[in-house]
Amino acid sequence: MQSAFIKTLLYILIFVNLSQAQNENQLKLVNGEQTFYLPVYIREGQVYFSLFNFAESMSLDYSYSSKSDKVDIQFDNYSLKTAIRNPFIILKNKQTEKTKIIQLPTTTYFINNNLYLPLNYILPSLREASGWQFDLPESNKLIVKTAKIPRVKVVDAANPEFGITGFSLDEKANGTLVRIKCNKGIATYNSGFKDGVLTIVFRDVNLDQSKFTIEQNKGLIKDIKAKNLGNDCEIKKIMKKGTMTPIHLLSELPFKQELISFLNNSRTQK
């Protein structure tokens, strides 16, 4: 009798452990009444999810070329392109033909014929390409609402109520900490680094341009420039000469009060 009880208890423990391990290796994707389970890859605590399985679950057309290692996903108004072992995402507006290059803080991974991208960092690009709303209440659960994200009214430059109100720089031993002050939640942003300039574009928010001046060089940043672009705004961080592509990390969106941006100096030439 006791032996049978112990065996039953062992079976229950094994089942629970297997269930937990399976959940850790899957991303639960909820789209309305539909639920899908996508394979994930965990690296240094970062969750990478399968782009191919995401496209199939959301009924998106996608293509993969084994010769060029390139991947192309088609949304209604945008195409999203990336490549294997590459940290860049290319968004192309089908109406205007304009392209935008976003650099992820880490590369993509190709495992067992599946392309894995860092979940937290790819969500802003997916929001812009699809117009959908994404919610990540847990590290292994993603809720997608395919209703389009509403556009907000353009903020009048004469109105003192700006969504982004200023910034501050804090020099650390291993880099420069940039704090961008906000008074509203921001749904998405895009960033890219070219010719020594780190550019960040925030969607559906304006900033107070008078607050973005720098009195002296601090850390990696030589100068900072900011301007409004219709509904959106743009901040350019001009890096010091000799600075290579910086490691640029942003706090998770949507955020309020403060956006943390860290520029790591480990890739700066001596």
Q: Which DSSP string corresponds to 208-251?
A: -GGG---SS-BTTEEEEEEEEETTEEEEEEEEPTTB-SPEEEEP
Q: Where in the chain is the domain with CATH 2.60.40.3500?
A: 164-267
Residue listed under structure tokens 């200023």: 166
pLDDT bucket at 61, cuts 50 / 70 / 90: very high
| More confident site: 11 or 38 | 38
Q: What is the pLDDT of residue 78?
A: 94
Kindly report the CATH number that applies to the domain delimited by 27-145.
Answer: 3.30.457.10
Percentage of the chain surpassing pLDDT 90? 23
| More confident site: 196 or 112 | 112
Q: What's the rounded mean pLDDT across residues 114-143? A: 90
Q: What is the pLDDT of residue 243?
A: 58
The CATH architecture that domain 164-267 belongs to is Sandwich (2.60)
| More confident site: 254 or 232 | 232
Residue 251's alpha-carbon distances to 61, 63, 96, 205, in angstroms, are: 31, 31, 30, 17
Q: What is the pLDDT of residue 158?
A: 41
Sign of the dihedral defined by the CA atoms of residues 235, 222, 255, 119, in that order: positive
Burial class of residue 87 (count of CB atoms within 10 Å of its CB; 0-12, 13-18, 19+): middle
3-state helix, strand, coil in the chain (%, to 5): 20, 45, 35
On the question of pLDDT at 3 being above 80, the answer is: no
Q: Where in the chain is the domain with CATH 3.30.457.10?
A: 27-145
Q: What is the pLDDT of residue 261?
A: 65
> What are the tens digits of pLDDT across the range 179-205?
788 877 676 777 777 888 888 888 888
Verdict on whether the full-model pTM lies above 0.85 = no
pLDDT bucket at 2, cuts 50 / 70 / 90: low
Q: What is the pLDDT of residue 175?
A: 67
On the question of pLDDT at 30 being above 90, the answer is: yes
> What are the tens digits of pLDDT across the range 88-103?
999 999 988 888 888 8
